[in-house]
Amino acid sequence: MLVTNTIFRMGGAAILLSNKKHDEQRSKYKLLHLVRTHMGSDDRSYGSVIQQDDGDGFVGVSLSRSLSHVAGNALRTNISELGPLVLPYLEQLRCGWGAVHRKLWVTAGRKEIYVPDFKKAFEHFCIHAGGRAIIDAVESNLKLQKEDGEASRMTLHRFGNTSSSSVWYELCYLEAKGKVKKGDRIWQIAFGSGFKCNSAVWKSISVLDPKERNAWSDRIHSYPVQIPNAP
């Protein structure tokens, strides 16, 4: 139970939201979709991250060894709900055709799975920076390129694992780099205890000034940096 004291860092983000029409002119983004997946009905998922007493009666957070497996299941469930909302119709047809083929392939002893191209739905990805393994796994499962996960890796490098708030540090990174253009769509993917996987889809509705001060302003010029592979 000491592990959580070593893998997390302090972080936080405050976001001002409005549903009033007159605020649209000064808003940066419009929320298009919010998909929340909660796996708490499954005992294994519920117990993967849980606050409880240790053997000496001290309260702490316990992480189970099944956490990565639980996170993978939550992500797949979340994506299956998000996909029909954001993917182009042609890509959805390919997914449906792939599902039919998958059943035939499994019968024949093959297990190839078609992975939809989410880069046709989004220009930017903000992946929960809970560790290099999480970023690598999401990139691999979604067939993304390394540059798609740049904001996540740089956030992890500079700020450490700030849990779900990391997706807002990543969006700040993209803004400071001048990568977010008006009309761009951003996919934020975050995980939490429960176990939860949440997706937020935003659309940029204004012209952003990369020089506007944010969490990266003091050293954005030093990034990206080369991160060595772990031994």
Q: What is the pLDDT of residue 12?
A: 86
Q: What is the pLDDT of residue 94?
A: 78
Instruction: Give pLDDT tens digits for 31-55.
Output: 999 999 999 999 999 998 888 888 8
Rounded percentage of the chain residues whose pLDDT exceeds 70 = 92
Q: What is the pLDDT of residue 79?
A: 92
What span, in angstroms and rounded, lies between the C-alpha atoms of 223 and 216?
Answer: 10
Q: What is the mean pLDDT of residues 15-29?
A: 94
Q: What is the pLDDT of residue 98?
A: 65
Give yes or no for residue 231 having a pLDDT over 60. no
Lowest mean pLDDT across 3-7, 49-53, 115-119, 213-217: 3-7
Q: Determine what percent of the chain falls in helix, strand and coil, rounding each to the nearest 5.
A: 40, 20, 40
- End-to-end CA gap in the chain: 25
Q: What is the pLDDT of residue 169?
A: 97
* Chain CA centroid to CA 197, Å: 8
**Residue 27: band (very low, low, confident or very high) from pLDDT cuts 50, 70, 90:** very high
Q: What is the pLDDT of residue 57?
A: 86
Q: What is the pLDDT of residue 51?
A: 86
Q: What is the pLDDT of residue 113?
A: 66
Rounded to the nearest integer, the mean pLDDT of the chain is 89
- Characterize the bridge pairing of strands 59-63 and 29-38: unpaired
What span, in angstroms and rounded, lies between the C-alpha atoms of 36 and 197?
Answer: 6
Give yes or no for residue 206 having a pLDDT over 70. yes
Main-chain phi, psi angles of 116, to 5 degrees: -65, 150
Beta-bridge mates of residue 51: 61
Instruction: Return the half-sphere exposure (C-beta side, CA atoms, 13 A cut-off) of residue 93.
Output: 3
Q: What is the mean pLDDT of residues 161-185?
A: 96
**Residues composing the chain:** 231
- Characterize the bridge pairing of strands 59-63 and 124-127: unpaired
Q: What is the mean pLDDT of residues 2-27?
A: 87
- Tell me the one-letter amino acid at 11: G
What span, in angstroms and rounded, lies between the C-alpha atoms of 125 and 118?
Answer: 10
Rounded percentage of the chain residues whose pLDDT exceeds 90 = 61
Tokens of 5: 């004291």
Q: Are 166 and 154 in contact (CB under 8 A)?
A: no
Instruction: Give pLDDT tens digits for 104-149.
Output: 655 545 556 677 899 999 999 999 998 898 899 899 889 999 999 9
Q: What is the pLDDT of residue 3?
A: 73
Q: Are 70 and 44 in contact (CB under 8 A)?
A: yes
Q: What is the pLDDT of residue 9?
A: 85
Q: Which strands sit side by side in the sheet containing 185-192, from one edge to the other?
A: 29-38, 196-204, 185-192, 124-127
**Residue 68: band (very low, low, confident or very high) from pLDDT cuts 50, 70, 90:** confident
Q: Are 172 and 158 in contact (CB under 8 A)?
A: no
